[in-house]
Amino acid sequence: MAIEKTESFESKKEETAEVIGSKLSRYFGISPEEADEQQMYQAVVMSVRDVLAGYNKELIAKTKQQSSKQVFYLCMEFLMGRTLKLNLNNLGLEDVYRDYLSQYGFSLDAIYEREPDPGLGNGGLGRLAACFMDALASQDYPGKGFSILYEYGLFKQRIVDGEQMELPDIWLPDGGECWLVPRQDKKVTVNFGGTVREEWRENHLEIIQEGCTVVEAIPYDMFISGAGTRTVNTLRLWKATDPDTFDMQAFSQGQYVKAMEDRAMASAISKVLYPADNHHEGKLLRLSQQYFLVSASLQNILGNHLAQYKTLKNLPDKVAIHINDTHPALAIPELMRILMDQHHFSWDEAWDITVHTISYTNHTVLPEALEVWNENLFALKLPRIHMIVKEINERFCREAWNCNVGDWNKVGRMAILDHGMVHMANLSVIGSHHINGVSELHSDILKKTIFRDYYDMYPRRFCNVTNGIAHRKWLCYSNPSLAALLDETIGTGYRKNPEELEKFSAYSEDASILQRLEDIKRRNKHDFAGYIKETKGVLIDPDSIFDVQAKRMHEYKRQLMNALHIIDWYLRLKENPDMDVRPKTFLFAAKAAPGYYFAKDVIRLICYIGAEIEKDPAIRKKMRVVFLENYNVTLAEHLIPAADISEQISLAGKEASGTGNMKFMINGAVTIGTLDGANVEMAELLGRDNIFIFGHTAQEVEELWRKGYSSSDYYNRNPRLKRAVDALQPGFNGRSFADIGKYLLYSVGISDPFMCLADFDFFSEAHERVRAAYEDRGRWNRMALQNIAKAGFFAADRCIRQYAENIWHIKPVE
Ligand code: 26W
């Protein structure tokens, strides 16, 4: 597209040239003509950072001046992905930079490729936090994210002979650092271990913590731009270091290692992100990370509040603190600690402030993901926090007893401390004014199952906010051709107001628009094929159907059921190689937690099926199975606009919401999915003609469990399923997968715990429907169009407005 060079364009370009020129000269002592691509990348980032810093300063001043209430979003993960393209687009400066760079022979797209993909998150939870930051800024809400500056983000995945290898993700020196502004002036200290002594002093109880290990927390700020606004928020990332208390005595006595030890212990806290998703490990370092994040953030929030208002009494009027899942739940006792120990509030006053300040989102009901800590270790690491949690627990149990006299079991179930364990979800519910799930179904399940007892006691605390995605990032910026078609047909209003996507429905009978949609998809598929050929050396046929399942590898997400269907299809093709079918490419992308043996076995299975098919030229023409390594935000941005079919096939009741489902939908992929998480709401909005729903519902799953689920019944009844499962024994490409067969049929305990076999038949049948629909090009394109048109609801903008209005009670700054 030709760039329109207006007067303002030229003046912005001049400014840009000046700033970049001065960065290059200051940091590298060179001129733009002398810069290499990496130096230019860094200068570009620093120049953008400067623009954002200026706007951020304005916002801080405005927020102060208007005494606006702010939200502070505490989360152990922010899966930001690259941000240069996003920032330039949000600021409306992409063309300016493109033009400037071309003058010196640089391509902006190549500069984009220089940016590392900061993987400070595992999956859904972390990416949601990143989408929320975008929506807050874009709608002028004053809000700040808090997390940890992990030196190593989520591991990089390499697949070698079907095996997942984990490599360290060294993102900071690799070009990530230049986004960050260190704020030494805002550093705080966090105490661990030691003992607690109480002493009466001038009519208050003084709490003295002694013999603690002190860790310094230094904030590094990343700026968060909004689209078409000057609102720029911050994401504050804490780095842990030792507070220069080098043990000189130990050192001079020859105990060199001991002298270094404390230093190493302190910085270990922000070294790595735990790579387990939806699985609690109970590791003490993880508990330290959680307290470190919470304590540093609260000190910062309260310090600023006090400086402005000189009191903490009005905290809930000016501050909303949100805990994203239970990982930052220690914010509850930590806030109590600061209010009581440092500001001498009474228990009741402090508790009132705490509960009115904190809110909590639950993101999972999987029992293995719910955090519990061994109480003894907890007390050792956080003695003062333990005392406070004990007191919260005692007072709560008394209240619960009064509401449920005689029902010890119920009170026991709801207690925070039980059988030597600390239950973080219970703490979170007890200390929050609102608790929400992330889809209608999930919020319902919370009220009926894991939080049922609390729902009886505090019905008004529970609500639902269905997740949403940053639609500009996932549609406008990653699928520019589709965005251009939308701009042309429905105008550009949807970029700011995603609900306006609905207007696209009016074109559902317009043959020329439907054809253009098809053309855009085809082009995206070609682009994607080119991209993965270049970046991963993988060849795929862009004219085949792209059937995609991209998400963390987990049993409940049932990549295995997808694999079983693929095996069945492969065996049918082998039997009948002349079958007249349109070629299909099954694409998988997924990281498995390094210690999750079964998930890694499923990766292996998918790769080995793929490899066996590659050896058979007749089959390879009709179906291929490709595992794309190192799924991250950048790969998702390329892959999703190219997908025809989106696989959202978790066992109903297990996927809290899903957000990948929304990203595929808004890019015109058609979903094949179970009635789980937000799929339910997608189906309601789309109507059953525009989505392929299959399988047992959450309620039916429950009934099946109650009746006694037997996977072998399904296996014995269905010859095609039997044949697919049996094929695991001899296996693929020379490797047996008998263990997976055993898991499905003969496990000690429960076989096939996620009911792959129970849904297999429905799934195959749904795939048949998909195939037929795809052959009717007009119908398929109409479905794609409806998916795009109905996706506005799933924008993070809507979602954040609901949080702002119903939970946080914050307003946009003027
Ligand atoms: C302590 C180990 C651990 C780590 C991460 C437990 C739980 C988690 C996350 C809460 C798991 C997660 O990311 N959940 C996903 O959250 C998304 C955003 O709400 C939802 O869309 C997904 O359905 C949910 O699985």
d(CA 142, CA 71): 7
Mean pLDDT of the chain: 97
CA of 78 to the centre of ligand 1 (A): 12
Cβ of 679 closer than 6 Å to ligand 1, yes or no, is no
Cβ of 117 closer than 6 Å to ligand 1, yes or no, is no
d(CA 366, CA 278): 7
- The answer, yes or no, to whether residue 204 has pLDDT greater than 90, is no
Cβ of 439 closer than 6 Å to ligand 1, yes or no, is no
- The answer, yes or no, to whether residue 10 has pLDDT greater than 90, is yes
CA of 656 to the centre of ligand 1 (A): 8
- Token output for 20: 């970049």
Per-residue model confidence as pLDDT tens digits over 712-768: 999 999 999 999 999 999 999 999 999 999 999 999 889 999 999 999 999 999 999
pLDDT value for 245: 66
d(CA 539, CA 526): 11
Atom of ligand 1 nearest to the CA of 127: 18
Per-residue model confidence as pLDDT tens digits over 786-808: 999 999 999 999 999 999 999 99
3-state secondary structure 400-440: HHHHCCCCHHHHHHHCCEECCEEEHHHHHHHCCCEEEECCH
Average pLDDT over residues 304-316: 98
- The answer, yes or no, to whether residue 254 has pLDDT greater than 90, is no
Share of the chain above pLDDT 70, in %: 99
Determine which residue's CA is closest to atom 1 belonging to ligand 1: 280
pLDDT value for 1: 52
d(CA 196, CA 202): 19
Cβ of 656 closer than 6 Å to ligand 1, yes or no, is yes
- No. of helices (H) and no. of strands (E), the chain: 35, 23
In the structure, what pLDDT confidence band is assigned to residue 307 with cuts at 50, 70 and 90?
Answer: very high
**Parallel, antiparallel or unpaired: strands 645-648 and 623-628:** unpaired
Determine which residue's CA is closest to atom 8 belonging to ligand 1: 278
Cβ of 42 closer than 6 Å to ligand 1, yes or no, is no
Per-residue model confidence as pLDDT tens digits over 557-572: 999 999 999 999 999 9
d(CA 545, CA 669): 11
CA angle 787, 789, 790 (to 5 degrees): 65
Atom of ligand 1 nearest to the CA of 467: 19
Question: What's CA 640's distance to the chain center, in Å?
Answer: 16
Per-residue model confidence as pLDDT tens digits over 27-58: 999 999 999 999 999 999 999 999 999 999 99
Per-residue model confidence as pLDDT tens digits over 507-520: 999 999 999 999 99
Active site residues: 363, 551-552, 557, 659, 663
Cα dist from 197 to 332, 384, 464, whole Å: 21, 10, 43
Cβ of 77 closer than 6 Å to ligand 1, yes or no, is no
Cβ of 662 closer than 6 Å to ligand 1, yes or no, is no
- The answer, yes or no, to whether residue 262 has pLDDT greater than 80, is no
- The answer, yes or no, to whether residue 102 has pLDDT greater than 80, is yes
- Token output for 233: 């928020």
Atom of ligand 1 nearest to the CA of 659: 21
Identify the DSSP state of 3: P
pLDDT value for 748: 87
Cβ of 123 closer than 6 Å to ligand 1, yes or no, is yes
Residue type, 664: F
If one counts every other C-beta atom within 10 angstroms of the C-beta of residue 378, the result is: 22
CA dihedral for 35, 37, 38, 44, sign (positive or negative)? positive
Per-residue model confidence as pLDDT tens digits over 389-431: 999 999 999 999 999 999 999 999 999 999 999 999 999 999 9
d(CA 758, CA 740): 16
Residue whose CB lies within 8 A of the most ligand 1 atoms, among 78, 364, 438, 657, for a mutation test: 364
Check: CB of residue 553 under 8 Å from CB of residue 603: yes
Cα dist from 597 to 485, 609, 630, 726, 729, whole Å: 45, 19, 18, 21, 18
Cβ of 653 closer than 6 Å to ligand 1, yes or no, is no
Determine which residue's CA is closest to atom 21 belonging to ligand 1: 658
Determine which residue's CA is closest to atom 6 belonging to ligand 1: 278
CA of 192 to the centre of ligand 1 (A): 27
